[in-house]
Structure 1
Amino acid sequence: MLILTSFRRLGAADEVAAAAAKQGCFVTVLEMAERVIARCVPSMIGVRIASWHRAAGVLLRLGCAVRRVKPEAHCLRIVARVRQPRKHYKRFET
C-alpha cells in the first residue's frame, strides 16, 4: 500500500502513483484541494488527469487534509479531515 499526500504539481507524485499502481500496488492520494493539480492547470485538464489515475486503480480522496501521522506497531496511522466542497465551486467528476 502506498499513500501520497498531494498532487500539487505535475511531476513526481503523479508519476509515482501511476508507476506503483501499474506494478499492482494499492495507491491512495490524499489531496487537500477539491481537484488534482488545482494550482497548475485548468479544471478540465485536472479532471482528465484524475480520470487517468482512477482508470489505473489509484484512489483519489479530494478535499482531504492530513492532520497527523502516528506511528503504530507495524504501520503508520494517518489521521485526515475531509472538507466539504465550496458551494460556488463546480466539482467535475468522471
Structure 2
Amino acid sequence: MSGIPLGVGGPPPPGMDAKCGRLVCIKVRMLDDSVAVFHLGHKAIGQTLLDEVARHLNLLENDYFGLEYIDNAGCHKTPFGSFCFQKYMAPL
C-alpha cells in the first residue's frame, strides 16, 4: 500500500465495502482548494466527518471550523440552515 493513510484518498479500510452499501466516499474541499477523500459508514453523522477532517489536518481546536455543502440548486447548506447567494451586477 502507498503512503496514503486509510480514509484519506486511499482505498477503503478492510471490512468496508462500498458495493454492500456500508461505505460512502466523501470528497472534502479544504480552504486552500485541496481535496481530501474520506471513507465513512453510510449512517455516519456530520460530526464524524468533521472529526476525520480535523484529524487529517492535525487540528486540536476544531470549534472554529464547520461543514458546508452546495446542493443542486447552488445554495450553500450548513447544519444550522441554508442560504443562497445571488450575484447582481450593479452599474458603477
Q: Tell me the TM-score normalised to structure 2 length.
A: 0.27
Name the structure where strand makes up a greater proportion of residues.
Answer: 1
Name the structure where helix makes up a greater proportion of residues.
Answer: 1
Structure with greater contact order relative to length (CA < 8 Å, sep ≥ 6): 1
